[in-house]
Structure 1
Amino acid sequence: MGNSVSNLCKKDGMFFTATEELDSYYPIRTECQDDVPKTRFKARVGKTLSPRRWNAAFTDDGHLDMAGVLRRIQRGGIHPTIKGAVWEFLLGCYDPNSTYDERNEVREQRRKQYVAWKELCQKMLPTFGTGKFITTPIITDDGRPVEDPSGNSVALPNYGALDQREINWMLGLPQIGLDVVRTDRTLVYYETEANRAKLWDVLAIYSWVDKDIGYVQGMNDICSPMVILFEEEADAFWCFERAMRRLRENFRSTTSYMGVQSQLGTLAQIIKAIDPKLHQHLEELDGGEYLFAIRMLMVLFRREFSFVDAMYLWEVMWAMEYNPNIYASYEESRDATSSTTDQADVKPSQLKQYGKFQRKNLKSGWTDERSALAIFLVAGVLEKKNKRLLKEAQGLDDVVQILSEITGNLDAKKALKQALKVHKKYLKAKKS
């Protein structure tokens, strides 16, 4: 049973079928096959961004037709063989208007910076970067080495007392290690300690670089796909760093506040506007703060979808949210959390450079930076479960139970369509 040429896409002598199975790119451990959500996404010729289409989108000197790329991603995602390269543009690592030479220069500078940070971490912790990672405490709260039951302690350089930043960093390393061990454990990729150590190194360096927030549980779920997609560790780090520009405020927390509460508040406003009856019911169940949606927003539905489907969801969301000023805004400010543009500054001819979701926001004049598409995805899920929530939910435990049933049963493409419908409905409600 062969495939007709019309159902095949060729790149460098390789073909992929119109409905190619993609799990083979990210193999699942045999004993875990029945424990993971089923993958629904398939690469489709004519819809999915293929290697051939991707290469054709560049001019001879390297300028990228981002509008064409966005259209294709929004229709059918990205083929696995080019995911990493495309994500770098979607997340603002590179400017589509740059040349090959300019991007190579930026990449080289970033790799050198990553090496410098890694060498600094190695000075503080000699075992850093050796393919090993830590899961148990190595220092006390006041910076003294911790001895294990055998009387041994981790060898730390004797260059004087540690400052508070160094102490805080070292205190957080075991938690990163514990989370790494739990990350995507169903994937064959993480069977090797070297690959787990790669993830640990990237997260540990990010923890050092982000002095304000550092590492927080959940970041491992965001970082893991990037570590897998990029062979070069430094490139994985920078892709993750750019992703965190969008997400890091969700991870900011104090004893009385979690950053994600800002998005939860926006979610509450959306549901109140489009489905006041459901919002009132949730409030009566003491669920008006929508805390049951924290996980979905913090790790972008990683637990609700298969590994492949989660990546498809992310890349389509990022394409729909794309702002052509993202690279410039990130370069201008280390602390930028999103790219902004005054609606008045955008000419009609420029709108095609924006993603579908961002374009609708600009046309409506609505520029609330907290309103990521992920919030409307959650709102879409709640809308779909409206009848059951109203009829069956007698307490928050019931709400959690009903929502937990979406794991493995949610189609990412349909969920995105529903999110856009909710977005349109909300913008209409805001106008009235």
Structure 2
Amino acid sequence: MQEGEWVQVLGRVYEFAFGEMPSSSSSSQSYAASVGVGVAVTAVAGVAVAAAVGGLIYYNGGEFPFDLPFSTRRTHSPLTQEKWVECFDSEDGRLLDGEKVIYKVRGGGIVPSIRAQVWPFLLGVYELDSSSAERVEVKFAKHEEYEELRTQCVKASETLKKPKLVQAASEPEGEKVEEDGTEGEAKADTASDDVPSGRKMAKEEEDFQTWQRIIKLDAVRMNAEWIPYAETQASVTFEEAEKLSKEAGLMDDDHLEPPRRHHAARLVLILEAYTMYDPETGYCQGMSDLLSPFVALIDDDYEAFWCFVKFMEFARHNFRLDEVGIRRQLNMVSSIIKSSDPQLYRHLRKLGCEDCTFIYRMVVVLMRRELSFEQTLCLWEVMWADWAAIDNKRGAGDGRRRDRLGPPTRDLLLYTIAAAVRKRRRNILQYSGMDELVRECNGMAGNLDIWELLADARELVRCVQVKPTKSD
């Protein structure tokens, strides 16, 4: 597919998927670049670019089951507060059985009441084997660093409010040199040296202003499905919401009830800090969807911020212009389908949709818009537990336990998306174009059983593997 054709297809897919044109990180960018920045979906030429995605996918052998077993129940019961407390040493507060915790979450998730306590461990904000004293030190350092980022945000906002000083371009610098002699010449050289840094500063200010504007728009639009899961924040008063709204500089949030207004303000403050922490990524549409669950369940902004930072170490590639992150994921989903369901893949190829652009929204915001709030939390924490099992080399299980869950993978999301597509294979095989595929994927919202999908995804992980290329 040529670049121009890709942009046209992507534009149509975007409107179907999000129902609006993308927010751009720069108002001066073209539509094509806006799509690239706003949703970070890339020009995928097809599944053939296996080297670019870092691996080839193959099936382990035998006849692949088109109708994989589904279970409407969790593989295991979730990690409970009682079990969580039992896992800690009563003297120094170390997590004694991190492997058990990880395995438990991989199979059944976490009960809502302790998610805010467990997530920082799964995401690596706190080391699994850290003591209580060590975690206190980490909390203090992280809190200080977050506050410094917020200070930078406040200073940047104040700078933007100041009138710009414009020096006349026609000022005769040559005459100054003649009048001032060598001193004037030195001043001219210094001014010349300052030009690049001045332009860089102006660009940084422009970027922050653009990100700030889009962040505020997206924060106010955030829905209220998180409220039942955030008892403390659901009870904030009008005065508390009003105060934080002013601190965040929100203008068009008067129509929101206090909890949503308070939530929107926290989103703004944390996302602004993230643009300072990672200016290369900045802010793009969809990132507020990823942050919202952390803000809802974690009361302290700094802790929600650092959990989000750890999550974005994985997800930030979805919002970059280098295109590699989205390309790898779309191609991998395509390859999983190709290996596990050749008939479905052949039909997609016949439609010219084997690049799987119709599922890009599911990839970009990690199925946040296809799943309910609770389902999203279940999927994400199971994903994080898989990552933790790999990073800490524990929690994968052994013997019968390993057979039950299969090996952990960093790409559980992609196997889950492939499972969701295969779940609709009967309808998809009757379709004749991209628009129908996008509508079908959008129609998944509110109609998925996350534990069924995870059971199917685990089966796909067992049967389909990634074969690393030499480029790895």
Answer yes or no: is 1:228 the counterpart of 2:266: no
**One-letter identity of the residue aligned with 2:444:** I
Matches within 5 A, 1:298-309: 298-309=364-375
Q: 2:448 aligns with which of 378, 399, 410?
A: 410
Q: 2:206 aligns with which of 154, 162, 167?
A: 167
Matches within 5 A, 1:21-420: 47-60=77-90, 61-64=92-95, 65-126=97-158, 162-188=201-227, 189=234, 191-192=257-258, 193-253=261-321, 257=323, 259-323=325-389, 325=391, 352=397, 372-390=411-429, 392-420=430-458
Q: Matched residues in 1 for 2:451 and 2:395: separation?
A: 27
Q: Secondary structure at the match of 1:323?
A: helix
Larger Rg: 2
Do the aligned partners of residues 105 and 56 (structure 1) sit closer, same or farther apart at CA in structure 2, a change above 3 Å counting?
A: same
CA contact (8 A) 2:363 2:414 kept: yes
Q: Matched residues in 2 for 1:187 and 1:424: separation?
A: 34
Measured after TM superposition, the shift of residue 43 of structure 1 is: 11
CA contact (8 A) 2:115 2:297 kept: yes
Do the aligned partners of residues 125 and 413 (structure 1) sit closer, same or farther apart at CA in structure 2, a change above 3 Å counting?
A: same
RMSD: 3.3
Q: Matched residues in 1 for 2:441 and 2:142: separation?
A: 41
Measured after TM superposition, the shift of residue 350 of structure 1 is: 8.1
Q: Matched residues in 1 for 2:82 and 2:116: separation?
A: 15
**One-letter identity of the residue aligned with 1:191:** E
Q: Which structure has the higher relative contact order (CA within 8 Å, separation 6+)?
A: 2
CA contact (8 A) 2:105 2:382 kept: yes
Measured after TM superposition, the shift of residue 377 of structure 1 is: 0.6
Measured after TM superposition, the shift of residue 115 of structure 1 is: 0.6
Larger helix proportion of the pair: 2
Structure 2, unmatched stretches of 5+, are: 1-71, 167-197, 228-233, 235-255
Q: Matched residues in 2 for 1:106 and 1:428: separation?
A: 36
Q: Percent identity?
A: 32
Measured after TM superposition, the shift of residue 114 of structure 1 is: 0.5
Measured after TM superposition, the shift of residue 428 of structure 1 is: 9.9
Do the aligned partners of residues 258 and 183 (structure 1) sit closer, same or farther apart at CA in structure 2, a change above 3 Å counting?
A: farther
CA contact (8 A) 2:317 2:325 kept: yes
Measured after TM superposition, the shift of residue 75 of structure 1 is: 3.2
CA contact (8 A) 1:320 1:356 kept: no
Do the aligned partners of residues 406 and 109 (structure 1) sit closer, same or farther apart at CA in structure 2, a change above 3 Å counting?
A: same
Q: Matched residues in 1 for 2:84 and 2:337: separation?
A: 38
Q: Matched residues in 2 for 1:116 and 1:308: separation?
A: 33
Name whichever of 184-193 and 226-235 sits farther off: 184-193
Structure 1, unmatched stretches of 5+, are: 1-41, 128-136, 145-159, 327-345
Q: Matched residues in 2 for 1:262 and 1:73: separation?
A: 27
TM-score (norm 2): 0.64
CA contact (8 A) 1:138 1:170 kept: no
CA contact (8 A) 1:43 1:77 kept: no
Q: Secondary structure at the match of 1:184?
A: coil
Total equivalences in the alignment: 331
How far does the alpha carbon of each residue in 1:61-107 deviate from its partner, in whole angstroms, 9 at most, with x for none?
Answer: 12212111123223322111110111111111111111010011011
Runs of 4+ in 1 over 6 A off after TM superposition: 137-140
Measured after TM superposition, the shift of residue 138 of structure 1 is: 7.3
Measured after TM superposition, the shift of residue 121 of structure 1 is: 1.2
How far does the alpha carbon of each residue in 1:12-67 deviate from its partner, in whole angstroms, 9 at most, with x for none?
Answer: xxxxxxxxxxxxxxxxxxxxxxxxxxxxxx999x8121111111111121221211
Measured after TM superposition, the shift of residue 180 of structure 1 is: 0.7
Q: Matched residues in 2 for 1:422 and 1:53: separation?
A: 30
Q: Secondary structure at the match of 1:227?
A: helix
Q: Secondary structure at the match of 1:409?
A: coil
